[in-house]
Amino acid sequence: MEKFNNTEDFLAKWASGDLSESDKEAFRKREDYKLYAAILEGTDRLDVPAYNKEKNFEGVQEKKMREGKVVRLTRKWPYAVAASVALFMGYLFFFNQTVGHETGYGEKLAITLPDHSEVVLNARSKLEYQEKNWKEERTLVLEGEAYFKVNKGSRFAVDSENGRVTVLGTQFTVNSEGDIFEIRCYEGKVKVEKNGLQKIIAAGQAVRAVDGVLEDWKLVQQQPSWIQGETTFDNTPLKQVIRALEKQYGVTIKLNNVDPTQRYTGSFTHRNLETALRTVFESLEITFSIKNGNTIDLAQE
């Protein structure tokens, strides 16, 4: 059996399939086999150019002869180069994997994190996190809206382009997209940070950023209503309500002469577009017309 001493030569031969069956079987019994197998699997997903060991070997030999230097090269040299590159890129891939999830129009997605914390993504939302050292560094990046049920442990942070939400163990929602930044706390406490502003809210409280100011209010629901197919608002700017309608139904809403800063309190269903539009806009004395199935024009006197 060929001696295995963690050299690039051995690993490259294994990766290229040049080891004998007896060597492979002996290698599989080693404690570090699973780690190297995982790294090799990662390198298989990388798009790298093919390596021609014969051509490269001959090219180096020819170059050295032209320079007039006598350098002893063996056929094992290309193996070492290939193994070094494969292992380096494999380590980068294996230990820096980003896990991502995304939803489309009207979709919801339930996710279980490595520490068994739970996330539900609302429509048209994205979530990413690094698996490495997750238990020590529980940090996610969110675009859109999500409901979090966090198990106790190290600090848990949700980053977005609008700000950061930090907790230890709690239940809360974050809605961050464009100039929308809203957090609702259903259990425990969360710290909200945005542009130097900080606010701690407890269960039954909510906060949103509007024109550089954090405004808060009390919650009635025990969990986000959108999980059950209905989105609820409390004195919410109309532009945020419209964005929620667009994400749930995959439509484009044109305001025309409608003021997007006016406030709406109420809800809309996820089950019927026309019913949802009537519920929101009739209470605000805004008329709407549906064109081509997915464009809604608004008008207000």
Q: pLDDT by residue (tens digit) across 92-102?
A: 444 557 899 99
Distance CA(240)–CA(262), nearest Å, equals: 10
The pLDDT score that the predictor gives to residue 58 is 53
Q: Nearest to residue 144, comparing CAs of 107, 113, 118?
A: 107
The pLDDT score that the predictor gives to residue 39 is 56
Q: How confident is the model at residue 60 (pLDDT cuts 50, 70, 90)?
A: very low
Q: How confident is the model at residue 49 (pLDDT cuts 50, 70, 90)?
A: very low
pLDDT at 248 over 90: yes
pLDDT at 122 over 80: yes
* Structural domains of the chain, with CATH: 2-44 (no CATH), 67-225 (2.60.120.1440), 229-299 (3.55.50.30)
Classify each residue of 249-276 as buried b or exposed e, where b means 16 or more C-beta atoms within 10 Å of its C-beta. Answer: bebebebeebeeeeebeebbebeebeeb
Is the model more confident about 301 or about 39?
A: 301
Q: How confident is the model at residue 48 (pLDDT cuts 50, 70, 90)?
A: very low
Q: How confident is the model at residue 64 (pLDDT cuts 50, 70, 90)?
A: very low
> Is the distance from CB of 4 to CB of 27 less than 8 angstroms?
yes
State the virtual CA torsion across 164, 166, 172, 176 in degrees, nearest 10. Answer: 10
> Is the distance from CB of 188 to CB of 169 less than 8 angstroms?
yes
172 forms beta bridges with 148, 185
Is the model more confident about 134 or about 66?
A: 134
The pLDDT score that the predictor gives to residue 67 is 46
Place of tokens 């907790």: 167
Burial group, residue 143, by CB count within 10 angstroms (0-12, 13-18, 19+) = middle
Q: What is the mean pLDDT of residues 140-164?
A: 96
Q: Is 148 helix (H, G, I), strand (E, B) or coil?
A: strand
pLDDT at 174 over 50: yes
> Is the distance from CB of 156 to CB of 138 less than 8 angstroms?
yes
Q: How confident is the model at residue 61 (pLDDT cuts 50, 70, 90)?
A: low
Share of the chain above pLDDT 90, in %: 59
pLDDT at 234 over 90: yes
> Is the distance from CB of 145 to CB of 233 less than 8 angstroms?
no
Q: At what angle do helices 8-16 and 21-28 cross, to 10 degrees?
A: 110
pTM > 0.75:
no
Q: How confident is the model at residue 168 (pLDDT cuts 50, 70, 90)?
A: confident
Q: Nearest to residue 61, comparing CAs of 75, 49, 73, 43?
A: 73
- Count the alpha carbons within 13 Å of 95 in the hemisphere toward its beta carbon: 9
> Is the distance from CB of 277 to CB of 296 less than 8 angstroms?
yes
Distance CA(273)–CA(281), nearest Å, equals: 12
Q: What is the mean pLDDT of the chain?
A: 82
